[in-house]
Structure 1
């Protein structure tokens, strides 16, 4: 690919379908308000929390992944904590007054 060609960054448009639904049951399910599958969103949130040394609010996490609603963020974080619990992970996701933080 020539150096003068720019590849556009992928954009993720929030879906308005099932906006109020919060009962996604499978990691492959698309979360309401998110164009990403639940496991992909959880992975992005995990990476963001991993690099932050302080708690990050759900609103800020939503902004960082291009969402306008915190609902899909909270759903994905619930999935993440569930995975940590199921697999006996050394990581724990804590919800603090100022946001969410990964701890060991």
Structure 2
């Protein structure tokens, strides 16, 4: 198996897993349960990974990220980190999440 095929398979698996997590998060949103910061951060990280490799996001991932951004909009921008509350992760909206420069610690 070539490295490119392995990479493609891994990206496809990441996309598949993002759909499963998106389903859980959407269920939590619909039933008014809390979405953890780890769940939100994981969705953002996989979206960045797919974007970095020029792969289209699964539609459910797109929907859930837009829902989280819409529901959690706040005024002050902050850095993304696993220990931050979900409202801080989505602070500043969708463009803030994906405009943050990638650092070594951000990479999956």
**TM-score under structure 1 normalisation?**
0.36
Say which structure is richer in helix: 2
Larger gyration radius, structure 1 or structure 2:
1
Say which structure is richer in strand: 1
